[in-house]
Structure 1
Amino acid sequence: MTTYKRRALLAAGLGAAAGVAAPAVAQGSPELRWRLASAYAKNLDILFGATESFARFVSEATDGRFQIQVSGPGEPVPAEGLIDAVAAGTVEMGHGPATLGMAKDPTFALATALPFGLNARGQNAWWHAGGAADLFSEIFARYGLASLPGGNTGAQMGGWFRKEIKTLADLQGLKFRIAGLGGQVLGKFGVQPQATPGPEIYTALESKKIDAAEWIGPYDDERLGLQKVAPIYHYPGFWEGGAMLHFWLNAEKWKALPKGYRAVLQAASAQVGADVQAKYDARNPGALRRLVAGGAQLRPFPQEVMEGALKNANDVYGEIAGRNADFRRVYEAMKSFRNEEYLWFQVAEYTYDNFMIRARARG
């Protein structure tokens, strides 16, 4: 029995959770061939690799009866059209951030990350044990969608800048590659958000078409070589303090699945989700060291930028909540959960981490 099959049978708990014996999943279920479109390029081995791991998990857990074909952006749908393609049934599944659905409803953003929202642990806790999954299930269903959590990047970096941001005035007129609500928040400082695809960031910075760009974090950023053309590496990426990704499913296809297959998909997403965050946590430190050795200059965002951005974010949320009842309801739920999480984190987690960080600095 392979590792993925063993994990699948254990994690799915098919005998107890789905009410069937494990062999019956393969023997008594139909043969299915699904397509899964990723929002991420194939060279992003953690993110695109998550979809490959997911498909392998499902195949091995069902003795090959449920096969999922994985494709990258543009094969057959572009990243920005991924969620629409899943809802329309062009593909049965997709993998990417909920922010891809913001044109439908800005509430989608809260399912991935909100500027000054939850950190990775908080986002996972809110989704799995704090009621978020039920809130979003209702909202996504209106758009013909279902979702399963598909990993978390952890807190992202603030991006690459040709010039250091020392004051709020330095943001005025800055052409910054950033999207979604983060772009709206920074836009209140006079930043000009730019929608530059990942593969084009290096060229856009080198040609001075843009002044700065955020991507993900050290491990993925290293592949772009941006320290060569924009050496200032600001942190943190306060617009994505814990970005949760999702496996998107066509709602009708999801409902039609046998219970055993649904249990396998849930187990696969749980396993892959844990793998994604673990890989980022394990690989980012070494990548950060290499980036600094290659010329990256680490700089925290100034306190006045952080404080000003928090105020801007609250203003943006108030504006959206005033015209969108779903956003208001989900945002209030997230805020309440965030307050409780940080009440707990500051007692034990932060105290422990702060001590260990200071101990490390002392050698």
Structure 2
Amino acid sequence: MDRRSFLSSAAIGATASALAAPAIAQEKPQITWRLSSSFPNSLPALYGNSQELGKRVAEATDGAFQIQSFSAGEIVGGLQGADAAAAGTVEVAHFPTYYNWGKDPVWAIPTALPFGLSARGMNAWMRNGGGNDMFNAFLSDKGLIGFPGGNTGAQMGGWFRKEINTVDDLKGLKFRVGGFAGAILKRLGVVPQQISGGDIYAALEKGTIDATEFVGPYDDQKLGFVKVAPYYYYPGWWEGGAMVHFLFNKAAYEGLPDQYKSLLQTVCQSVNANMLETYDYENSKALRTLLAEGAQLRPFSQEIMQACFETSKEVYAEISAENETFKKMYDSLRAFENEYYLWTQVAEYNYDTFMMVQQRQGTL
């Protein structure tokens, strides 16, 4: 190639680059959002999942789309995230929606209903069974749009100062219990308390409450509950697969380019999986630590489990008779639950049971 041809080609290339640059810039507009988490930054699986959202979105956009996370209390309290996102105080909340169940019991369903689905079942129903579509229809007049943003798996039943063996032992118990479970336990004599994560230890230490549930070993060990309430009960029947949502300000979300909307949905799905993977890896190690620190494992008695199950069905029937949206979502969830547990008792249950026997026998 002679010098003149080379220079002409270079000029054309430079012109093309100059023309292309503004188009590329338009495809990746600079956007900075704020996210309010419902959790303290001392909990890496919960608070850390909100940071994962920002990290993955920034990496996918070469830093053009930034989402900065703030822990509970930095902008608003842990229970106010959804309101802050709806008002535009922040663009995103990482929020267990059952914190709002007192406004409308429908809010409880996307996190967990007592005796609801496991984590895998919840993910399947929300994504493939229409659960999240129904939730977003519910949110449509509230200035929000939501996508699953993490699942803890089956939670523990909590930390108690004394042993709880019968239904009578529940009477008068001041129990920090999140979401919808309090309405059920109240009928059995419990005095439910709703306290955000960062404030629980102080309330338990001072005796303001008699017991607390939070999540499971990985988080509970960090929060130090074993020091003041040694009896560690299981299972947390009110949170068989508790889901946290990313709730986006609807106007802010709809104002995004289509590629950013698609990216957010994809990243939410990956971050949703990230939380459960973290808990599945960490909980066993943390439980061993808690036992060494004095935790005393106790199962809820069958008397307590059955009483709570029957009471939950009574509550759901009453709410369904008055709340059409709740009934629609609850009926959908229950129909899938019947199918899901029909299937899981065939292969999953038998395989897991066999492997658990091997673990107990020390043959793994």
Residue 348 of structure 2 is aligned to residue 344 of structure 1: no
Deviation at 1:198, TM superposition (A): 2.7
Report the CA distance between 1:26 and its aligned residue: 5.8
Are 1:174 and 2:173 matched, yes or no?
yes
Q: 1:268 to 1:335 in 2, by over 3 A?
A: same
Matched with 1:30 is 29
> Which residue of the partner structure matches residue 233 of structure 2?
234
Query: 2:164 is matched with which residue?
Result: 165
The normalised TM-score by structure 2 is 0.91
Contact 2:86–2:250 under 8 Å retained in 1: yes
Structure of larger gyration radius: 2
Q: Deviations over 1:308-353 (max 9, x none)?
A: 0001111111121121110011000000000000000011111111
Q: What letter matches 2:336 in structure 1?
A: F
Residue correspondence of structure 1 range 185-200 to structure 2 within 5 A: 185-200=184-199
Q: Secondary structure of the residue that 1:103 maps to in structure 2?
A: coil
The two structures, once aligned, show a CA RMSD in angstroms of: 1.5
Supply the distance in 1 between the matched residues of 2:284 and 2:352 (Cα, whole angstroms): 16
> 1:40·1:47 contact (CA, 8 Å) conserved in 2?
yes
Aligned 8 A contact 1:26 1:63 in 2: no
Which residue number corresponds to residue 273 of structure 1? 272
Q: Given that residues 78 and 197 in structure 2 are in contact (C-alpha distance below 8 angstroms), is that contact kept between their aligned partners in structure 1?
A: no
Tell me the distance in 1 between the aligned counterparts of 2:225 and 2:52: 29
Kept after mapping to 1: 8 A contact 2:79/2:196: no
Cα distance in 2 for residues equivalent to 1:28 and 1:175:
54
- Aligned with 1:203: secondary structure? helix
Hey, what does 2:284 align to over in structure 1? 285
Report if aligned partners of 1:150, 1:245 keep a CA contact under 8 Å in 2: yes
Equivalence for 1:154:
153
Aligned length: 341
Shift of 1:248: 0.6
1:106 aligned to 2:95? no
How much has 1:297 moved relative to structure 2?
0.5
* Cα distance change on mapping 1:359 and 1:28 into 2, 3 Å: same
Q: By how many angstroms is 1:129 displaced? A: 1.0
The answer to whether the 8 A contact 1:82-1:100 is kept is: no
Deviations 1:256-313 (A, max 9, x none): 2111001111121122111111000000000000101110000000001000000111
Q: Equivalences for 1:77-92 in 2 at 5 Å?
A: 77-92=76-91
In structure 1, stretches of 5+ residues that fail to align are 1-22
- Which structure 2 residues correspond to residues 1-363 of structure 1 after superposition, within 5 A? 28-363=27-362
User: What whole-Å deviation, never above 9, does each CA across 1:1-56 have from its counterpart, x for those lacking one?
Assistant: xxxxxxxxxxxxxxxxxxxxxx9776523211111111111111111111111111
Partner of 1:19 in structure 2? none
Verify the 8 A CA contact 1:157 1:235 in the aligned structure 2: yes
- C-alpha separation in 2, matches of 1:85 and 1:290: 37
Q: What whole-Å deviation, never above 9, does each CA across 1:68-92 have from its counterpart, x for those lacking one?
A: 1211122212121110111111111
What amino acid sits opposite 1:63 in the alignment? D
TM-score, with normalisation over the residues of structure 1?
A: 0.91
Equivalent position SS for 1:41: coil
Q: 1:206 to 1:91 in 2, by over 3 A?
A: closer
Structure 1 runs, 4 residues or longer, greater than 3 Å off? 23-27
Q: Distance in 2 between matches of 1:89 and 1:362?
A: 56
